[in-house]
Amino acid sequence: MTSKKRERLEVIRDILKAIKETRKIKPTRLLYASNLSPQMFKEYISELLEKKFISLEIEGENTKKQKDKEKKTFSLTKKGQDFLQEYKLIENFVENFGL
């Protein structure tokens, strides 16, 4: 089986799509869905949080004892939804101008 290395924009689209499908998704499930190494996943997630394409919600008390019970979930922001909606156009623009 031959597999083509995904472009950066494609990876971002895949992550956002995975979040969109479930509305809220846990980090571990998102890691599997994104098909990335943990290190790469961390980089992409920091970038997406910084760009405000996704948001991180933490439920539960933030004490040391309760840390295990903390529930982290990612959800899509309005900006992330806009990106997904116009993804094809953005990809087309970037590809056609070699950017």
Partner 1 sequence: MDVLSLLLSNKIFLEVIYSFIISFICLAISFKSDRYFRLSLHSGLRYFRNAFFFYGLAFFWKFCFAELTGLNSFSIFFSQFIFESLLIMGGLFLLYSLLWKKFNPKPGFSSLINSKLIFLYLLSLVIALTDCLKGTYFLLFSSQTLIFLIAFILVLNTYKQKGNKPSFLKFYGLAIALGLIAWILNFATAFVFQWDLLLLISTGLLNIIFFLIVLLGILQVTNKIKKQ
Contact set for partner 1, span 31-60 (CB under 8 A): 46-47, 50-51
Q: Which is nearer to partner 1, 7 or 70 (CB)?
A: 7
Question: How many of the chain's residues bind partner 1 (CB under 8 A)?
Answer: 21
Helix 87-96 to helix 78-85 angle (10° resolution) is 60
At 6 the three-state DSSP class reads coil
In this chain, which of 10, 59, 61, 82 binds partner 1, going by CB under 8 A? 82
Binding of partner 1 by 11 (CB under 8 A): no
Residue 82: partners with Cβ closer than 8 Å, 6 or more residues away: none
